[in-house]
Amino acid sequence: MCKMNPRVDFVFKKLFGTEESKDILIDLINSIVSEADRVSDIEIRNPYNEKQFLEDKKSVLDIKAYSAEGKWYNIEMQVLPEDSFAKRSLYYWSRLYTGQLQEGAPYSLLTKTICINILNFDQLYDEPSYHNVYKVKNEKSGGELLDEFEIHFIELRKYDETLADSLNTALDRWVNFLKLAGIYDADSMPDKLKEGPSFQKAMQLLERLSATKEEREIYEDRMKWLRDVTSSLETMERRGLEEGRTQGLKEGRAEGLEMGAEKNKRDNALRMLRKGMNIADVAECVDLPEGEIARLAEDAG
């Protein structure tokens, strides 16, 4: 039986966004953030809700969590590319940050908020690393304004699992799992993944999830929706290219006609000059500047 793809947001949230899998989520977060932001325990504030998901298949299946250390985390697995994804991530960060305060509460109660975006596409084309972190810093000195803003982008396609050192860090191993879990089982996983109990538990959960009829139906339905969206995007892109080509051909024809008309004017001007007409009269007849007619007369000798 083919295992589900853990990069599909529905599966990702089932694997990491339930009370049963809280320890796996902690391990994933701690592999991404700095040592100062690692968590010892966490409370998932929007656990996976199957009924809610079935009622709204377009919902964002992110994971919101609050740590025992008093920090907020938002983790999202995004499959489909989105031009404004960076802005969307900033918007989600701001909502999670501002949502901490009740009306009339002091700003001093606001705590650090970290957004983690795991992307199945390239977003930061100028950055070669698969993991990039953004903060609010002084442009000149590099000093940080506040330690409360942090957004991570993890671009799975930039991770090269064929490199000898591709499993050196905990994040390397999680990215490897997310990319290749579909071809692994508990025995065929790399040794560095077998050594981690979180990876073994994640694989067991994925296999159990894949073998459940109800979950398989939801998964197939989600995959169909994703394929339909992808197909619609490809159709829109193809039509845009076709419209661009059509417009380009029209503009090219128009430009060609214009160039042809200009050539006819110059040819007629030359014939008139050869018949002895003066420059001013020729310019008036063919609707060209006298300077251009003068240059034509000079070139014609």
pLDDT digits (tens, 9 = 90+) for 6-39: 999 889 999 999 999 999 999 999 999 999 999 9
Distances (CA, A) of 54 to 13, 64, 176, 222, 278: 14, 19, 29, 10, 84
Report pTM. 0.75
Return d(Cα 287, Cα 275) in angstroms, integer. 18
Return d(Cα 123, Cα 82) in angstroms, integer. 9
| Domains of the chain by start residue, with CATH | 9-211 (no CATH), 237-300 (1.10.10)
DSSP codes of every residue in 221-240: HHHHHHHHHHHHHHHHHHHH
Between residues 159 and 80, which one has the greater pLDDT?
Answer: 159
Return d(Cα 196, Cα 244) in angstroms, integer. 52
Return d(Cα 32, Cα 117) in angstroms, integer. 11
Return d(Cα 186, Cα 194) in angstroms, integer. 8
Does pLDDT of 225 surpass 90?
Answer: no
pLDDT at position 230 is: 75
What single-letter amino acid sits at 218? Answer: I
pLDDT range class, residue 243, cuts 50, 70, 90? low
Structure token pair of residue 58: 């377009």
Q: How many CB atoms lie under 10 A from the CB of residue 131? A: 19
